[in-house]
Structure 1
Amino acid sequence: MGRKGKKPLAILIPALLSLASVSLQAADVPVVSDEANRIAQETIIVDGHIDVPYRIHRHWEDVSMATQRGNFDYPRARQGGLTAPFMSIYVPASLDNSEESTAVAHQLIDLVEAMVYRSPDKFAIAKSVADVKEQFKQGLISLPMGMENGSPIQGSMENLKTFYERGIRYITLAHSLSNHIADSSYDLRRQWHGLSPFGKKLVVEMNNLGIMVDISHVSDEAFYQAVEISKVPVIASHSSLRKYTPGFERNMDDTMVKKLGENGGVVMINFGSSFVSKETQDWRANYTKQKNKLIDEVGKDSPLVSEFDETFRAKNPYPYSTLSQVLDHIDHVVELIGIDHVGIGSDFDGVGDSLPIGLKDVSTYPNLIQGMLDRGYSREDIEKVLSGNLLRVWSDVEKYAATH
């Protein structure tokens, strides 16, 4: 007979570990005060990068209503106070150097326009800082657009002008591969050693038209060249800091952050765990190493390979980053170059199930605000991070273009 009321250790230990994990997660999510909620609702919140268009391009959902999938929909955005998410017009690097890249970009812009057409009482296209401010007064969620990957430009300044006319207000020069504009931080091939000859001309023309230059994703050399050429501040629409992820070139090192500050630009912190935490970077490296080892041993078509993800994660739970770690990135930018040069670029809908504890979707900006309040930030400073800094840069870009 078993001992009545006792559970075997084999059952009890996993249960205790699960409870401990829940407890740790809860500890990193602050109790949101009325003040934090007021700030969220009374302040324009600009998020530099949300991948809604590509998400609904692949699997259609009406985001004007609550959705089961994804990190963004209208009810959650309202709950979190989000009022100006930059819709990412993301074109995969696999389409580089093809007409399809340009076509996909236009299709994604069509989808953003369709969001507004279907729900004009909820959304509005924003092509200027004035649009964002006016639409905020009207109670609408502004949908400015940024192009992630300059591939759709296809070496044509006419294409650039067309995309500007359709509402593109920043361009991430490259994505995961080197393209005809710039080298990518993810691509070992450095064919241009920075920007291509066309890329250098493109930065000038972007300045003249009024399109912000986004240096997220590009190589370090491309970053420095873009900053040198641009006559106005540049942005990193969704990048975090290499200080906390050593060796991860996709993030910015301290020297680059200081250069961005001298330029007057803004680094908008990416929430994805692999952008925030070295532990997550190490987990990903081990995952890749173990999977490649298994493929070498049993072949890529083995059932063991198809089951690898589930098996590996069961033994090695994914180490989600935390709200506190995201705040550390914000703090470090402030320490290096001041409060006027940091914003938020969550990468919601673009980083899968890797978002930090406490920042899982667009309803959670009050958690971030509360975290900043708890660290002693004033309301004025918080408002700069939420939108003031990015709107300043955008305004500078608009003013320069108006005279060129």
Structure 2
Amino acid sequence: MKTRILLAIFGLSLINMACETTRKELSDDELMSKAKELVQQYIIVDGHVDLPYRMEQGGFMVQQKVLNVSVGASDGNFDFPRAKEGGLDAPFMSIYIPAQYQQVPGYAKKFADSLINMTKQLADTYPDEFAIAYSPDDVEQHFKAGKISLPMGMENGAPLEGDIALVEYFQKAGIRYVTLTHGRDNKICDSSYDTTRTHGGLSEYGRQVISEMNRVGIMVDISHVSDDTFWQVMELSKAPAIASHSSVRHFTPGFERNMNDEMIKKLGENDGVIMINFGSSFLDGEYRARRAAYDEHVINWLADNELTRDDPKAKTYIEEYTKNNDPWSNVQKVADHIDRVVELTGGTDNVGFGSDFDGVGDSLPTGLKDVSTYPNLIYELLKRGYSDEDIAKMCYKNVFRVWREVEEIASRS
């Protein structure tokens, strides 16, 4: 038996070596052409896109179509044409609840309901372009029909309002993951951004929430939680968890919002998935200092020349200055984070994409500025020797595996 296993591993190694050799023989143009083919061939799931909150802030209304993302939008990171160009098929719509909304009893739930209804309204208004997805099977069906699926995840469990019955309520409303908290501790657990450490991890109610999420079939999302909360979730949850939009702390020392090496290993051991956040501050610990220096220079130049950013001369200068002093991170750094996860977990089974498009402002990295740019990341991964199957796992197979396992565990409850 051991001999057969070793021969199989050796055979796979030879195949991978052959693939890498073939890739190295391809030109950059040929690799990009292949990347563009793969993004259309494979389903791409993105763990976190903040379109609903952007629609709420931008005044989305059906009749007036104030923010119509079924056609090209002049701002933001997401719309239908750009998503189709980039191959994005299933962006998890973030039902984002700002932490301040949890301070008024009942308001977080009311706001969550409004964003859920708005997302469903988007699909109802443009049924040829969008469809709500409640399962991987739905996503596959919509993919075949050329539609973009809109699964929903709740960012911040505050709308549960301390009422365990609301877990099932939101599952029936279409929520398929819950990010347990956001920028502050809530009734469920402690936040990575909050130094108060109210519960020392999960509250007693939070422990009940984990069990109930397992029972009804909602993925547990550990993005934003404190380290203590993460380890307690790993101990309690019967189902694998996801980090819907987090990156690797190795590249951002001291930034608890990202996951450290031991956490990533544990997530992998539990068959979970970390979906890499594209925000520059999540990718590069030196970004903030570079960005501050860049902004200071541009502001001072505008003041010295008595110009605004809209002046043609200013636009030309800023464009040229940016080329030579680009403060943002880049698509290569996203691939570095993926490499690190693969190294820590021993393979490509535990990593995916969680861009945070429409959620991280103008901090998106060079090469990944909107949903049309996934081919740039796939190109970089191909260039590094990842196989087509590796890329398929990152695009959708890994998160589908977790999603289906959560469904299976719920079906046995």
Aligned counterpart in structure 1 of residue 69 of structure 2, from 39, 63, 67 = 63
CA gap of 1:285–1:235, structure 2 versus 1, over 3 A, is: farther
Q: CA deviation at 1:100?
A: 1.2
Q: CA deviation at 1:281?
A: 3.8
User: Could you tell me whether the CA contact under 8 Å between 1:322 and 1:358 is conserved in 2?
Assistant: yes
User: Could you tell me whether the CA contact under 8 Å between 1:279 and 1:319 is conserved in 2?
Assistant: no
User: Could you tell me whether the CA contact under 8 Å between 2:291 and 2:328 is conserved in 1?
Assistant: no
User: Could you tell me whether the CA contact under 8 Å between 2:88 and 2:148 is conserved in 1?
Assistant: yes
Equivalent residue runs for 1:321-340 within 5 Å: 321-337=329-345, 338-340=347-349
Q: In the alignment, what sits opposite 2:371?
A: 362
Any idea what the Cα deviations from partners look like across 1:33-52, whole Å, max 9, x if unmatched? 22111100011000000000
Q: In the alignment, what sits opposite 2:42?
A: 43
Q: CA deviation at 1:244?
A: 0.2
1:188 partnered with 2:195 = yes
Structure 2: runs of 5+ lacking an equivalent: 1-27, 61-66, 297-317
Partner amino acid, structure 2, of 1:222:
T
SS in structure 2 at match of 1:202: helix
SS in structure 1 at match of 2:178: strand
Partner Cα distance (1:110, 1:282) in 2: 40
Q: In the alignment, what sits opposite 1:388?
A: 397
Partner amino acid, structure 2, of 1:81:
G
Structure 1 consecutive aligned stretches of length 4 or more whose deviation exceeds 6 Å: 284-288, 314-318
SS in structure 2 at match of 1:377: coil
Q: In the alignment, what sits opposite 1:121?
A: 128
Partner amino acid, structure 2, of 1:39:
L
Moved more, 356-365 or 153-162: 153-162
Q: State the Cα RMSD in Å.
A: 2.1
- Give the TM-score normalised by structure 2: 0.82
Partner Cα distance (1:162, 1:229) in 2: 22
Moved more, 83-92 or 316-325: 316-325
Aligned counterpart in structure 1 of residue 261 of structure 2, from 254, 262, 283 = 254
Kindly tell me the number of residue pairs found equivalent between the two proteins: 354
User: Could you tell me whether the CA contact under 8 Å between 1:126 and 1:142 is conserved in 2?
Assistant: yes
- Give the TM-score normalised by structure 1: 0.84
Structure 1: runs of 5+ lacking an equivalent: 1-29, 291-313
Any idea what the Cα deviations from partners look like across 1:116-171, whole Å, max 9, x if unmatched? 11110111000011111111111111100000000000011222111111100000
Q: In the alignment, what sits opposite 2:275?
A: 268
Equivalent residue runs for 1:4-403 within 5 Å: 31=29, 33-59=32-58, 60=60, 61-98=67-104, 99-283=106-290, 319-337=327-345, 338-403=347-412
Aligned residues with identical type, % of pairs: 55
CA gap of 1:260–1:78, structure 2 versus 1, over 3 A, is: same
Partner amino acid, structure 2, of 1:45:
I
Partner amino acid, structure 2, of 1:183:
D
Any idea what the Cα deviations from partners look like across 1:262-294, whole Å, max 9, x if unmatched? 111000000000000011144578899x9xxxx
Partner amino acid, structure 2, of 1:240:
S
Q: In the alignment, what sits opposite 2:3?
A: none
